[in-house]
């Protein structure tokens, strides 16, 4: 059977609004939709092959290319209702609005006239932007604090990044008034959990060492650290963390007025004495710390208990350091 041959003039495009938007989005609209002359109306030839079918990728709906005005045939049926997407504006509504605006069915003017990529939504103004109170530098805040107020300041401190990872800021613990001030480096994991200094294995060794010279944290010694919050993974404190935290230690010294200070480990010794000398060269003699109030406090340097746990043969030297400290009473 021979089919009617009207194919010399290809048929009109027949795509629904969604398809047209899609073609535009993937940059193929010009290929698929060569515009018809002004007078032409898109028409569909009802019988089979009266026009050139265009092969299309699997996922793309077949369309028919219109070259010139076709024979007058039946008016095109209304475009098929597009699938709806939850939350999307129904295409039918935008189509009506756009027909009013641009005389072309189906495609919103905002999309038709667009030249660049789809506009991004305006960023939402942050509703919960918090206005921070001005920060008072630690050195200023501690100036007139008594010991209880100082403890509260340490517990609430956000002067450096270490506050982000801490469970507890560790102010210090011990006798007040005190005879000795013992200064370590920074809280470890156990200290961070419990909020007290030297409570892990190092702390047990420290208590035993103090007991050997007749001292205890309950009656004679106050124990604290240069840094009040645990550095993540027990890494060395950074210079800015030391700078932010050291006013607390200086105020503790000013308030406690200890007879002497026992500094444990290289880091604490170098920080307190303001030197980068080795611990080997710092221990075995008495240093002096001048306070802002004009007092001079004797300082004895010894090994950190954590080091002594790793190197027990050094305990003999630590014992000499303790005896040096005790002799000076």
Site residues (CB under 6 A) for ligand URA?
184-188, 191, 197-198, 202, 225, 306
Burial 125-149 (b: 16+ CB within 10 A, else e): eeeeeeeeeeeeebeebbeebeeee
State the nearest-atom distance from the C-beta of 197 to ligand URA, in Å.
Answer: 4
Instruction: Give the residue closest to ligand URA by C-beta.
Output: 184
Angle of helix 17-25 relative to helix 91-102, nearest 10 degrees, comes to: 80
79 or 188: CB nearest ligand URA = 188
State the nearest-atom distance from the C-beta of 235 to ligand URA, in Å.
Answer: 13
State the nearest-atom distance from the C-beta of 130 to ligand URA, in Å.
Answer: 33
3 or 211: CB nearest ligand URA = 211
Q: Which of 265, 271, 262, 269 is nearest to 242 (CA)?
A: 271
State the nearest-atom distance from the C-beta of 305 to ligand URA, in Å.
Answer: 7
State the nearest-atom distance from the C-beta of 245 to ligand URA, in Å.
Answer: 13
State the nearest-atom distance from the C-beta of 263 to ligand URA, in Å.
Answer: 10
181 or 306: CB nearest ligand URA = 306
16 or 225: CB nearest ligand URA = 225
Q: Which of 176, 203, 179, 175 is nearest to 189 (CA)?
A: 203
97 or 175: CB nearest ligand URA = 175
12 or 205: CB nearest ligand URA = 205
23 or 182: CB nearest ligand URA = 182
Residues contacting residue 199 through CB under 8 Å, at least 6 positions apart: 190, 191
CA 18 – CA 102 distance, rounded (Å): 17
State the nearest-atom distance from the C-beta of 272 to ligand URA, in Å.
Answer: 13
State the nearest-atom distance from the C-beta of 198 to ligand URA, in Å.
Answer: 4
150 or 199: CB nearest ligand URA = 199
């Amino acid at each position: 059977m021979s089919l009617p041959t009207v194919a010399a003039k290809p048929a009109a495009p027949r795509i629904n609004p969604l398809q047209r938007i899609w073609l535009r989005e993937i940059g193929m609209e010009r290929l698929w939709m060569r515009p018809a002359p002004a007078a032409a109306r898109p028409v569909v030839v009802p019988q089979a092959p009266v026009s050139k079918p265009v092969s299309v990728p699997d996922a793309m709906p077949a369309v028919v290319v219109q070259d010139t005005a076709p024979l007058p045939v039946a008016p095109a049926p209304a475009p098929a209702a597009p699938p709806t997407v939850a939350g999307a504006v129904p295409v039918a509504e935008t189509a009506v609005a756009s027909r009013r605006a641009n005389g072309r069915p189906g495609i919103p003017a905002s999309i038709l006239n667009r030249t660049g990529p789809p506009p991004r939504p305006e960023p939402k103004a942050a509703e919960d932007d918090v206005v921070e109170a001005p920060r008072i530098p630690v050195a200023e805040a501690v100036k007139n604090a008594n010991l209880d107020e100082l403890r509260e300041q340490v517990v609430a401190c956000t002067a450096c990044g270490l506050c982000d990872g801490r469970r507890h800021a560790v102010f210090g613990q011990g006798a007040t008034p005190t005879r000795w001030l013992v200064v370590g480096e920074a809280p470890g994991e156990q200290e961070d959990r419990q909020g007290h200094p030297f409570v892990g294995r190092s702390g047990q060794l420290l208590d035993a060492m103090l007991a050997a010279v007749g001292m205890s944290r309950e009656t004679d010694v106050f124990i604290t650290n240069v840094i009040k919050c645990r550095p993540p993974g027990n890494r060395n404190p950074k210079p800015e963390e030391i700078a932010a935290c050291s006013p607390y230690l200086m105020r503790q010294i000013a308030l406690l007025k200890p007879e002497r200070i026992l500094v444990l480990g290289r880091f604490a010794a170098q920080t307190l004495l303001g030197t980068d000398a080795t611990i080997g060269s710092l221990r075995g003699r008495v240093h002096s710390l001048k306070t802002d109030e004009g007092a001079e406090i004797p300082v004895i340097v010894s090994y950190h208990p954590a080091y002594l746990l790793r190197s027990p043969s050094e305990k003999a030297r630590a014992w000499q350091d303790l005896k040096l400290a005790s002799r000076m009473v």
